[in-house]
Structure 1
Amino acid sequence: MAGKYDDLTPAQLVELLEKRDRTKKLGLVWERDEIEADQAVDANFVTCRIVPDLSDKPAPWDNLVIEGDNFDALRWLRMTHAGRVKCIYIDPPYNTGNKDWVYNDRYMNRENRFRQSTWLEFLYRRLTLARDLLAEDGVLLISINDDQRAYLELMADEAMPGMRIGSFTWQTRAGTKGDGPYFSQDNEYVIAYGKPTFRFGGSLADQEKYSNPDNDPRGPWTSVALQTNKTRIERENSYFPVQNPRTKHWHPCNPNRVWPFLLRGMKGARGATFEDMFENDLILFSKEGESQKFETREELIEAIQSGLAHPYLKVDLPDLDFWIGKEIGLGTVRKKQFLSDLKEAKKPTSSFIRKLNEPDEDEDRIFVRSGMTGEGTREISRIFGHPAFNYAKPVSLIRELVRQSTGPDDLVLDFFAGSATTAQAVMELNAEDGGRRRFIMVSSTEASEDEPDKNICRDVSAERVRRLNASKDPRYADFAAAFAYLRTYEIAFEDLDYDLTPADAWVALEAMHDLPLTPYDPARPWTLHEGDHVALVLVDSFDNSLLDWLRGRDRQNLFVYAWAPGQIAQHLDGTDVDIRPVRDTLVKRFQN
């Protein structure tokens, strides 16, 4: 079947491609080689190896610190943790052009007109990998300054289409004089991208205001106003009086916030009418039984002007004459709201981050609270005894973002870990609420020609967690986070049969099955890890003890891996065991 381009000459095809390249599109365009980018993801295989001497506390290790290029680490994590991370927080380099991060040595040049594109492509490749790690209710949070925010958001829209939630604004310092236009840039931002079912924690409804004084079988309830945010001018058909069927008193409608219901028989009535709600014992009348009555228009107007009439009655209302001679019910019309009907948090999370001691002035929102940049600097100095890392974010900022984004058993990732503030934030939350949140911190060495022995991951990221684990400071008394220290290695696919070790495979398989990591014992023919809900076996060479162990075992959630499954299977004749090939399984997941 002929294609639509088959009749075009080479010159016409070139012209068509050039026209496509010239065509503007809505959004951000940056210089990138899509073919090269796609090839880079699967250019080789990445493995992670445990460094026992740099790991902390005895195994099993629930938390990970990974040393290496975060592009490699993310490729490995996509193989092992896809769809399992609840919250990713990153504080990436801000593309200042200064040598404030290791990749400047290879990528950044202030005079390079492609500098922005290089930075965008650098982050784009990492965000597309990170996207695949998020759980279906997961969120990715990115810190950024005002200079790069617009570029980053547009690029992130490309990397994570349809996932944009919005952004937080937080105050980084108390205030400085602004250069040039005298504009003090005291704020930074945290932009948020979430999967379909993600919700920030908000604030739970105040259950103390729910009670059941009338023993309603539907349970505890509270009284809420029956009003909308529309005026009688905006929604004319929703402005009318209602009558209490019990007292026959008439109740006026608020002309500035009309009813959210209609009456039976009214044109356009859908859903529950006033009569429906009354019959279902949902309607409440505050001050029921109390009323006032005016026999003449003059008497009514005088009462309105003196403030003695019902506050919803105004002199300029078109239905003023209706109220003459009527028993006007005092109070307002309200509705029962049942605690059991609340499906969401009562107060949503605000996009403005407030200072730690700033008072609450808004009862309708819950605020993330954070210290300023100086808090991060002081915390680093307190833990290390000196400023071991520059520009660390305040722990309070990340702690409260993680609090709003996770539950007590969730997994948190930071692949620009730096000083591992995110790890401390997770430790603080767990100490506070008894949670079992886990973290994965990824950091490079940041070694350069000038500093070949520099290792930020080893000496700052991991060291911070080590010091917190061992600290005698009462502020860190309940902190505990055992971690495995991993180092990334690249292996050419054609060399996997020789260079991928059983220890490499064991780390990957444990991580794939959501098991804490344990050291691999090369002296054993097969290695076992039995978790609460899964049993994992890696067979290096067949041994009869494996048959003894398998007899009578429940096959559900039992996973057996072997380098040569066929050879092992012949020894297991008559046993219904699913044996999976190690190499093919890992490569398939890595390239998925």
Structure 2
Amino acid sequence: MLADDVVVVAEFRDRIYPGLVETGRVERGGDKPFHTVVNAENYHALEMLTYTHRHSIDAIYIDPPYNTGARDWKYDNDYVASDDDYRHSKWLAFMERRLKICRELMRSDATLVATIDEHEVNRLGVLLDQLFPESTRQLVTIVNNPKGVTQGYLSRVEEYAFFVFGPDARIGSVDDDLLTHRDMADAEGELQRPRWKGLLRSGDDSLRADRKDMFYPVWFDESTGRLSHAGEALPLDETPDFSPQDGLTPIWPIRRDMKEGPTRAAPRRSILDYALHPHL
């Protein structure tokens, strides 16, 4: 090739801007908001978005390699094995570069969610604290295999998700009170049921006598199929009355074994409020 055939697209040290080429589209929503799928190496895709979406993303979900030693991800174009002395350092460097770009994309009220398992959960937590010092970080447990997966001496049933809330992020309420029966089917086609069990206190202090002010009825309106309100706490020496009143039916916190147990919220903050805002 002759020197005259070389086309100069950028001088040395000039910035080269990435671009996207559309390969196809599926249109089904009319004028509704649309989704864009970027098929690229994730680092380059994130870097490209900084030119178009810097400080404008309100939610980011990442599911990175868990670094289990199974040689399922590469660093410097080579798989990282379980016997690599720098395995954890390589993983942290890999994650840090991508999380720094995520930070540039996020709005001040954005939320970042990162899933992980026990292999790197502690290191990822420290890295997130370092990169997002102004944000609030919370770790939640996700039960993804109730049967358990053998890890070392014990079997585990869970993985984890870090939630990183920006300094201006707020948790909004939802219209599902977890109690009212809804006409919708779950993934297996079965009708979903109200999750009463999760609203009863378990473990220590799980009997009525343990929390005297937290045994009260929730009144149900059969004509509308909705819960009306929470009643007053019943004194310990009185027996629950199941008789309807003013067209409403009382629902008492009684388990299947007929043991009377307290709810997770006192009457002044009804069980309905607890179902909607358990974090308050």
TM-score, with length taken from structure 2? 0.54
**Contact 1:46 / 1:75 at 8 angstroms: preserved in 2?**
no
**Contact 2:116 / 2:160 at 8 angstroms: preserved in 1?**
yes
Whether 1:82 and 2:54 are equivalent positions in the alignment is: yes
SS, match of residue 60 in structure 2: strand
What residue number does 1:141 align with? 113
1:198 pairs with 162, 169, 179, which one?
Answer: 169
Alignment of 1:88-99 (within 5 A): 88-99=60-71
Distance 1:117 1:48, change over 3 A: same
What residue number does 2:81 align with? 109
Superposed displacement of residue 112, structure 1: 2.2
Whether 1:70 and 2:65 are equivalent positions in the alignment is: no
2:94 pairs with 119, 122, 130, which one?
Answer: 122
Distance 1:179 1:196, change over 3 A: closer
Superposed displacement of residue 203, structure 1: 3.8
What residue number does 1:320 align with? none
Aligned-partner residue type, residue 174 of structure 1:
P
What residue number does 1:51 align with? 22
CA distance in 2, matches of 1:191, 1:111: 27
**Contact 2:108 / 2:169 at 8 angstroms: preserved in 1?**
yes
Distance 1:167 1:105, change over 3 A: same
CA distance in 2, matches of 1:142, 1:112: 24
CA distance in 1, matches of 2:72, 2:25: 28
CA distance in 2, matches of 1:80, 1:68: 16
Superposed displacement of residue 66, structure 1: 1.4
- Structure number having the greater strand percentage: 2
1:168 pairs with 133, 136, 140, which one?
Answer: 140
CA distance in 1, matches of 2:143, 2:118: 12
**Contact 1:203 / 1:346 at 8 angstroms: preserved in 2?**
no
Aligned-partner residue type, residue 19 of structure 2:
C
Q: Which runs of 5+ in 2 are unaligned?
A: 1-12, 178-211, 214-231, 239-266
CA distance in 2, matches of 1:168, 1:179: 20
Alignment of 1:107-506 (within 5 A): 108-176=80-148, 178=150, 180-181=152-153, 183-203=154-174, 346-347=273-274, 365=278
**Contact 1:204 / 1:346 at 8 angstroms: preserved in 2?**
no
Listed one character per residue, the Cα deviations across residues 416-440 of structure 1 (whole Å, up to 9, x for unaligned) are: xxxxxxxxxxxxxxxxxxxxxxxxx
Superposed displacement of residue 89, structure 1: 0.4
Superposed displacement of residue 202, structure 1: 3.8
Distance 1:56 1:140, change over 3 A: same
Distance 1:185 1:177, change over 3 A: closer
**Contact 1:205 / 1:346 at 8 angstroms: preserved in 2?**
no
Listed one character per residue, the Cα deviations across residues 351-371 of structure 1 (whole Å, up to 9, x for unaligned) are: xxxxxxxxxxx68628xxxxx
Question: What count of residue pairs does the alignment treat as equivalent?
Answer: 182
Aligned-partner residue type, residue 365 of structure 1:
P
RMSD of equivalent CA atoms? 3.9
Superposed displacement of residue 140, structure 1: 0.2
**Contact 1:107 / 1:118 at 8 angstroms: preserved in 2?**
no
Distance 1:111 1:50, change over 3 A: same
CA distance in 2, matches of 1:98, 1:105: 16
SS, match of residue 141 in structure 1: strand
CA distance in 2, matches of 1:190, 1:175: 20
CA distance in 1, matches of 2:146, 2:37: 34
CA distance in 1, matches of 2:109, 2:149: 42
CA distance in 2, matches of 1:112, 1:63: 39
Superposed displacement of residue 104, structure 1: 7.9
CA distance in 1, matches of 2:142, 2:81: 29
Q: Give % identity.
A: 26
**Contact 1:165 / 1:193 at 8 angstroms: preserved in 2?**
yes
Distance 1:108 1:102, change over 3 A: closer
- Structure number having the greater helix percentage: 1
Superposed displacement of residue 65, structure 1: 1.6
Alignment of 1:2-13 (within 5 A): none
Superposed displacement of residue 346, structure 1: 4.7
**Contact 1:202 / 1:346 at 8 angstroms: preserved in 2?**
no
**Contact 1:91 / 1:142 at 8 angstroms: preserved in 2?**
yes
Distance 1:104 1:98, change over 3 A: farther
Superposed displacement of residue 146, structure 1: 1.5
Aligned-partner residue type, residue 143 of structure 2:
Q
Asked which structure has the greater CA Rg, the reply is 1
Superposed displacement of residue 105, structure 1: 4.4
Aligned-partner residue type, residue 136 of structure 1:
S
CA distance in 1, matches of 2:87, 2:150: 26
Superposed displacement of residue 44, structure 1: 4.9
